[in-house]
Amino acid sequence: MFDGIIRLVAYFLTYSYIKINVKPISFLMLIAVVIIVSGCIEPEKPQQVEVVREVLRYVCPDGTTIVSNITMCPKREYVCPDMRTIVDDPASCPREEEKEDDSAVCDKLSTGTYTGSYSNIRDQCYFGFAISKSDGKLCLKVIDSYTRASCFSTLAMNLNNMSICDLAGGSKDDCYEALAGKLKDPSVCAKITSRYDKDTCYLNMVYTVREESICLGISSQQTKDSCYSTLAYYTYNSEYCSKITSVPTQDTCLTNLAYYKNDVSLCNELSTPAGVKNCIAYINRTKNYYGSGYTY
């Protein structure tokens, strides 16, 4: 662009010299001005465009290594099930040889019962293998229903697995009750279908898990009263005696608690004057017998 302007000015000066008849001195002065001006003006430099190239990054399967090419990722190592072979692809692990089922020997045993047993030798064999291998499928091979139920119950107890009790047939309630006691978990009692067995499960549970919510789960009022009485004894809290609906049972609860705590004031909460009198006399006899009183 700058060169074009110079050429245009030069053309104009030449034209003026020829056509207009400008004097030589003036013409030379104009040329000098153009040269001076041309030295002051710098020509525009072409603008350089910076090209930004995007570099791709990959996160390797190990979750930490970042590379520009996925083939640069380090190989992952896998330990095969034999706990010896290490490979970079689980499919490359050597196949384990199938082991012979040693429980198959049970099928060769007699199915007849022997003296003093309710089941046959074959069933006892599968029972033993099922427990030693922790394999419920072997319990299914037991023919006798009682032995099979006992197999599942024992397995459930060993594995602390409540769902195995569902396979115990007619003995599943017994399985739930035993497991509830072992786990000290009242929620297992709720799985019992028999109302009587469920109440018994809750009542036995309160001896170790001393919470009122256990008594609330009992449907029989008589058993619930026994639950509150037991809870009062183990917590030394007379408020549980007041929750008992049977008056005689409530009086017995207060009398026993007064005795265990050596607290005559609890006798005054009994329902009858005669009961209060007998309770106080009973506590006093205890004090006289043991001196300073007797407590657990």
Q: What share of the chain is helix, strand, coil (3-state, %, to 5)?
A: 60, 5, 35
User: CB-side exposure of 122: number of CA atoms within 13 Å?
Assistant: 12
The stretch 253-271 carries a mean pLDDT of 93
d(CA 237, CA 229): 10
Structure confidence at residue 295 (pLDDT): 45
Radius of gyration of the chain measured on its C-alpha atoms: 50
The larger pLDDT score, comparing residue 143 to residue 50, is at: 143
Contact 233, 257 (CB under 8 A): yes
Contact 63, 48 (CB under 8 A): no
Nearest to 262 by CA among 288, 240, 244: 288
Structure confidence at residue 54 (pLDDT): 57
Share of the chain above pLDDT 70, in %: 67
Q: How confident is the model over 82-117, as pLDDT tens digits?
A: 545 667 777 777 775 544 567 778 888 877 765 455
Q: How confident is the model over 170-209, as pLDDT tens digits?
A: 889 999 999 999 999 999 999 999 999 999 999 999 999 9
Dmax (CA) of the chain: 156
Q: Say what the pTM is.
A: 0.58
- Other C-beta atoms within 10 Å of 248: how many? 11
Per this entry, what is the length of the chain?
296
Q: How confident is the model over 66-86, as pLDDT tens digits?
A: 777 767 776 666 656 654 566
